Amino acid sequence: MIDSWHGILHGLMVAGTPTNLLYTLIGVFIGTMISHLPGIGPSAGIALLIPITFGMNPTTALIMLAGIYYGCMYGGAVTAILINTPGDAAAVMTTLDGYPLARAGRAGAALSIAAMSSFIAGTLGVTALTFVAAPIAELALHFGPAEYFALMIFALSTVSALTGNSLAKGLLSTSLGLALSTVGLDLQSGRSRFTMGIVDLQQGVSFLVVVVGVFALAEVARMAEGTLEGTMHSVRVKGRIWFTRQDWKAAFPAILRGSAVGFFCGAAPGLGGTISAMLAYVTEKNLSKTPEKFGKGAIEGVAGPEAAVNADTCGAFVHLLALGIPASGSTAIIMGAFIMYGIQPGPLLFQSQPDLVWGLIASMYVGNVMLLVLNLPLVGLFARVLYAPPGVLLVMILGIASVGVYSFETNPFMLYMALVFGVVGHVFRKLDIPKAPLIFGIILGGKIEQSLRQAMTISSGDPLVFLKSPLAAALLALAAAMIALSFWAKRKSAATLRAAQVRVEEQVQPQSVP
């Protein structure tokens, strides 16, 4: 506890330097802008901007990337409320009540409640992160290769089992990611694997190329389809951007409950913001004395999910910083950025890079305040981004993605690879294959193999090493249980979400953007 106090005070000094304050502001500003661009979520946004952070101080760069992430989650509600299109997948539940409120002329109340919920949940979430991450990291210092292997298998199983509508597709995405992680030089034997004689593959398949292709380029394809089919439609902000006392009275308990649900979901690998938002929404509806209002413009239906989504981002950082395991697609991309800067997230990070860890955590407090200041008075101004021509946006995104990927190694091969992964991402979307497990597989594949080989070497080739450690055995059992449960259970959560999406489609009367 005292260590955490010292750490956060030190972190505030790091985050408070003019450069870091500036990049926190830039990060949250870009994140908010990205969240207002329909179709471009945090993963695509972070992937697009990673190349721009090369050459920067890693702490500053990661502060900016994290700012983009939580800025994006913070602002995702705006598109959900105004155009009935979630700025990121997690905001889908916000559309259910946010958009009806907007259509009833209460867009200002919905937007301001969403901003307040995000601020309170974000601050509570960072506070919990501050005091939870360090003790977990200390505990994780005692993990050996067998425990780490089991922990990563558990994370992969969870993300495979809980993401998307099909266990098979989750496993397929994970195994494809793991297979991609095996391409290139095997670091222990020095032998090439699966390079097909292509010299550019000796260093492996670049993580950046995969995320830009699968997220950014594939999103461009989706935007292109949306533009052609005229599915982007908008409602302009009318009235005062503030809420009434009655709204606040109804929303405040929902914010607190949503924060708790979101943080715990974020701290569990694989659950992610979408599920936490859904759980928060269902909780609010079940607790409400007027559940019939939900879906027609209940303010708690905006406050609960928005709080959950923002607390979830903080929970996700617990895993990333303390264990070196991502909790969602976006944190997997941020973890990839850590690795690209030569920093391995995990328990040792608190000892080896205290400036970075505590500076990053402290910057989230600062970033949350910045987001509130930016979002409440300027929400109307930001909302104008929604009216930017989608045709221009998608072309600019293609331009940024292309030059960003090329700048990584100044090698045109990377561009070809990005295009291939763009096609893969598009096929994934068309076939309803989740993308997050693919990124998990690529990010964790190398570490899983290394831990497996180390554990087997230490045990002289005895596979029972994974069962002799109680923790490893428990984690492997949990992983198996997760897969088995997913196999037998009817995916109610995914079905509920899909029903919400279908309902969103039905609620709106499309007005094509010219």
Partner 1 sequence: MADWVLAVFVVTGAVIYLRAAMNLERLQVGDALGPQVFPVIVAAVMLCSGLLLAWETWRKQTMPGPAPTQTLPPKRGREGRGSGPTAEERRQRLVLPAMAAWTALYYVAFEPVGYVPSTLVYLSALLFYFHRVNPLINIGYAAAFTAVAYLLFTNFLQVVLPAGILQF
Footprint (CB under 8 A) of partner 1, residues 210-239: 221, 224-225, 227-229
Residue 46 is a binding residue for partner 1 (CB under 8 A): no
Q: CB 376 → partner 1: shortest distance, Å? A: 30
Tokens representing residue 282 in the block: 């269902």
Residue 422 is a binding residue for partner 1 (CB under 8 A): yes
Residue 62, number of CB atoms within 10 A of its CB: 26
Residue 146 is a binding residue for partner 1 (CB under 8 A): no
Which one, 264 or 406, has the nearer CB to partner 1? 406
Residue 460 is a binding residue for partner 1 (CB under 8 A): yes
Residue 499 is a binding residue for partner 1 (CB under 8 A): yes
Which one, 61 or 63, has the nearer CB to partner 1? 61
Q: How far is CA 66 from CA 120, 303, 337, in A?
A: 18, 23, 10
Three-state DSSP at 194 gives coil
Q: Which residue stretches of 292-353 are H helix?
A: 300-323, 329-340, 349-352
Which one, 83 or 357, has the nearer CB to partner 1? 83
Residue 5 is a binding residue for partner 1 (CB under 8 A): no
**Interface stretch with partner 1, choices 37-45, 163-171, 285-293, 364-372 (CB under 8 A):** 163-171
Which one, 3 or 186, has the nearer CB to partner 1? 186
Residue 481 is a binding residue for partner 1 (CB under 8 A): no
CB distance 168 to 179 below 8 Å? no
The binder of partner 1 chosen from 135, 239, 291, 391 (CB under 8 A) = 391
Residue 397 is a binding residue for partner 1 (CB under 8 A): no
The binder of partner 1 chosen from 5, 22, 105, 188 (CB under 8 A) = 188
Q: CB 176 → partner 1: shortest distance, Å? A: 7
Sign, Cα dihedral of 64, 65, 70, 74: positive
Q: CB 298 → partner 1: shortest distance, Å? A: 23
Closest CA to 513 of 387, 363, 359: 387
Residue 290 is a binding residue for partner 1 (CB under 8 A): no
Q: How far is CA 151 from CA 3, 124, 312, 493, in A?
A: 26, 27, 20, 24
Beta-sheet strands, E only, within 334-415: none
What CA–CA distance (Å, rounded) separates 191 from 258? 50
What CA–CA distance (Å, rounded) separates 246 from 248? 5
Residue 502 is a binding residue for partner 1 (CB under 8 A): yes
Say which amino acid occupies 509: Q
Residue 197 is a binding residue for partner 1 (CB under 8 A): no
The binder of partner 1 chosen from 19, 246, 351, 457 (CB under 8 A) = 457
Q: CB 160 → partner 1: shortest distance, Å? A: 9
Residue 418, number of CB atoms within 10 A of its CB: 25
CA angle 410, 411, 413 (to 5 degrees): 155
Residue 467 is a binding residue for partner 1 (CB under 8 A): no
Residue 485 is a binding residue for partner 1 (CB under 8 A): no
CA angle 325, 330, 334 (to 5 degrees): 65
Q: Which residue stretches of 212-343 are H helix?
A: 218-229, 245-267, 272-287, 300-323, 329-340
Number of residues that bind partner 1 (CB under 8 A): 71
Question: What stretch of H or E contains 192?
Answer: strand 192-193
The binder of partner 1 chosen from 1, 2, 142, 189 (CB under 8 A) = 189
Which one, 378 or 495, has the nearer CB to partner 1? 495
| Residue 239, Cβ density class (10 Å: 0-12 exposed, 13-18 middle, ≥19 buried) | exposed
Which one, 125 or 425, has the nearer CB to partner 1? 425
The binder of partner 1 chosen from 376, 398, 473, 508 (CB under 8 A) = 398
Residue 68 is a binding residue for partner 1 (CB under 8 A): no
The binder of partner 1 chosen from 139, 348, 373, 403 (CB under 8 A) = 403
